[in-house]
Amino acid sequence: MIAGGVSLVAAGVVCGWLFFYTADLPSIAELNRYNPAVASEIKIGANSLTHVVPNDLLGKYLLSAVVAAEGQADSRGPIRATIASLLSDVQPHAQMYSWQVARGLAPKGDSIRRQIDELRLAEQIRRHFNQRQVLTIYLNRVYLGENTYGVEDASRRYFGKHAFDLSLDEAALLAGLIRSPSRDSPILHPERAVERRNWVIDQMTTQGSVAREESEHAKAAPLIVKQTTDNLR
């Protein structure tokens, strides 16, 4: 009984540290930079700026395209997969995108320590943000090739327009880039990019995000990549 009690106390201490001690993790204020109330510019990396946008400027198709493309992905490491059973009440998409955001922001370290930090940060994200906010943070940070971070800058880079102006085929192409920005690049590998884009559109149709007639029209659209512009209004 004594040994069992000690084990429970120890487990409580560990869980408390995992889920509530956050002094060495990125702050919620830092995460809020990627969940803005209005569009703004922030620094990503050493030299580059990226445009971040609020949820209502992500466009008509982009969120459903990303969920269709990435919703079944599971990039959890063994520690995260083990702990995930404790979080079974969390919606799968919100859980997965919380992991993804945490992966990009957790402090560098050895494999086990980093996975623990990712777990702690993912829990902080889930405690402070709802599902749409988590998706917004994710889409404002995600790498989409050509040294481009975030869907707003990717929209400018590949199509010369804002994210909220993306058509169905354009949104599906960006969503398809998340898995492998180099392999599915519309600049380096246009045929692969179109194949991946059309697969995303099919997934959206299956999930009921778009009507079949609209999806067939989008799949027939030619791939047109335009020069970026930083002077959009």
pLDDT for 99 = 81
pLDDT along the chain (233 residues), means of 10: 56 52 69 91 76 93 91 47 42 68 76 81 87 91 92 96 97 96 95 97 95 97 79 63
Count Cα neighbours of 106 within 13 Å in the Cβ-side half-sphere. Answer: 24
Closest CA to 127 of 31, 55, 198, 50: 31
- Per-residue model confidence (pLDDT) at position 161: 95
Q: What is the pLDDT of residue 167?
A: 97
Residue 191 confidence (pLDDT) = 97
Domain over 24-219 is classified CATH 1.20.120.530: no
Q: How much is the pLDDT for 27?
A: 77
pLDDT of residue 103: 82
Whether the CB-CB separation of 79 and 115 falls below 8 Å is answered with yes
- Read off the amino acid at residue 176: G
pLDDT at site 94: 58
Give the tokens for residue 57. Answer: 């400027």
